[in-house]
Amino acid sequence: MPALRMPRPRMLALGLAALAGMAGAAEAGAHRIYVANEYDASISVIDPESGETLDTIGISGRPGEVRPRGMAVSPDGRTIYVAVSDFLPGRQSPEDAIVAIDTATNRVLRRYRAGGNPERVAISPDGTQLWAALEATAQVVGIDTATGAEIGKFQTGVETEGVAVSPDGRHVLVTAETSHTVTMVDARARKVLTHLLVGNRPRDVVFSPDGARAYVSAEIGGTVSVIDVAARKVVDTISLGLDSRPVELNLDPSGGRLYVAGGGTSAVYVIDTARAEVVEVIRERMGRRPWGLSVSPGGERIYTANGLSDSVSVIGADCLCVLDQFAAGRGAHSVEVGVVDAR
């Protein structure tokens, strides 16, 4: 599939330094963009330099019935985990799985049975645990990546969605859309620590690099809640506007900037985390309804998966402007960056 051709500044070649922020990433690696296409039941593999679609990985032969949504990338960047489910959020089916894709071959390595309509997935920093938000059963489940065995399953609010594992691997945070809560799980003790009230319809959650803070987007509230992880409290709420409908969010490698996809305004909000303020709103040339958002390993690029444009917007961190648009599949939901060995 050809890239959408638009005038753009020359993209910088990403050298070794750009990958240094990715723990355990192969030194000789180059990165690829992986986009979960909700309505095509596929994953687009895109070259970040040319925007060319290098491969399209079929997740199911039943597009429109089976959908890939949230994704996570392994610490070494070489495995992409995809939350796959059907379109019937109240039903558990064999399609409810976490699919692991090998970035070297673009083949499915393994399917982890998850149950409960998994919507988003996270991986522990050591790569040994998968955590999936089970929308249908209002639970979060931990899965051993080596054996596929269930580590634990914990109750959340109704319509579980976002999930994140802390950098030290101890805490798992899970959002629930109808209870407006974040559930904090102790992954070592395997117990629920607390439930925190955040903004209306929380979608995604991400930890700061040092694990001290976590940030939660609230789609209907139009806010980002800031959680003090040690204190287990919401310590700040950043308003993006009622119409912003923020969904995925991610930090740059330093943790100084938080990028938030604004699905309602087709914008990306840039938050200075030290000031807890929106410092820039990127609107010009953005794709429609950005839903997924990822940051390149070195922090130079921000990628958004645009559900109404079936595209990926490429944003430069220096200019905070849209540099390019790449074509993706139908209903681009999430975007992640994986590593492939240099050939």
Partner 1 sequence: MARISDPTRRAFLAGTGAAALMPLASALRAGTPAAENVLRIGATLPIAGAALPEGAVNLRSVGEAARMGLALAEEDAALNAGLLGWSPELAIGNAPGAGAVARAARRLVAREQVSVLIGGYTTEEAEILSAIAEESGALFLNVGATSDLARSGPCRANTFHVEASAAMYVDAILGWHVRAGFRRWHFVHDETAEGEARRARAAAGLEDRYWGAEVVGASVARRGETRDTAAVLDAIRESRSDVVFLLTDWQAQRDFLSHYEAAGLTAAVVGFPEPAAQTRDYYFTLSQVAPAAGAGYRAALWEPTLDAYGARELNTRFAARWGAPMDPAAWSAYQAVKIAMEAAIATGSARGEDLARHLAREESVFDVSKGIGVSFRPWDHQLRQPLYLVKVNPDASPSRELPALAARASLAGELPAIYMPGTEPVERLDQLGDIRRSGECRA
Give residues in contact with partner 1 (CB under 8 A). Answer: 87-92, 135-139, 154-159, 176-181, 183, 195, 197, 200-201, 220-222, 242-243, 245, 264-267, 283, 289, 308
Measured from the CB atom, is 2 or 89 closer to partner 1? 89
- In angstroms, what is the minimal distance from the CB of 84 to partner 1? 17
Per-residue tokens: 285: 């040339």
Measured from the CB atom, is 154 or 326 closer to partner 1? 154
- In angstroms, what is the minimal distance from the CB of 196 to partner 1? 9
Q: What does the alpha-carbon distance between residue 171 and residue 160 come to, in Å, rounded to a whole number?
A: 17
Measured from the CB atom, is 63 or 221 closer to partner 1? 221
- In angstroms, what is the minimal distance from the CB of 101 to partner 1? 26
Backbone angles phi, psi at 18, to 5 degrees: -65, -25
Measured from the CB atom, is 222 or 297 closer to partner 1? 222
Measured from the CB atom, is 229 or 267 closer to partner 1? 267
Cβ contacts of 111 within 8 Å, gap of 6 or more: 97, 98, 99, 100
Per-residue tokens: 314: 């490429």
CA dihedral 237, 242, 248, 251 (to 10 degrees): -40
The strands making up 139-144's β-sheet, listed across from edge to edge, are: 118-123, 129-134, 139-144, 150-155
- In angstroms, what is the minimal distance from the CB of 139 to partner 1? 7
Measured from the CB atom, is 180 or 213 closer to partner 1? 180
- In angstroms, what is the minimal distance from the CB of 191 to partner 1? 11
CA-closest candidate to residue 215, choices 192, 237, 241, 230: 237
Using DSSP, state whether 315 is helix, strand or coil: strand
Find the helix or strand (DSSP H, E) in which 17 lies.
helix 16-19
- In angstroms, what is the minimal distance from the CB of 58 to partner 1? 24
Measured from the CB atom, is 16 or 87 closer to partner 1? 87
- In angstroms, what is the minimal distance from the CB of 309 to partner 1? 12
Q: Determine how β-strand 213-218 pairs with β-strand 202-207.
A: antiparallel
Q: Residue 239: is it exposed, middle or buried by C-beta count within 10 angstroms (0-12/13-18/19+)?
A: middle
Q: What does the alpha-carbon distance between residue 119 and residue 131 come to, in Å, rounded to a whole number?
A: 11
Measured from the CB atom, is 80 or 315 closer to partner 1? 315
Q: What does the alpha-carbon distance between residue 221 and residue 12 come to, in Å, rounded to a whole number?
A: 37
- Residue 228's alpha-carbon distances to 59, 142, 195, 234, 275, in angstroms, are 38, 23, 13, 6, 15
**Is the CB of residue 201 less than 8 Å from the CB of residue 195?**
no
- In angstroms, what is the minimal distance from the CB of 137 to partner 1? 5
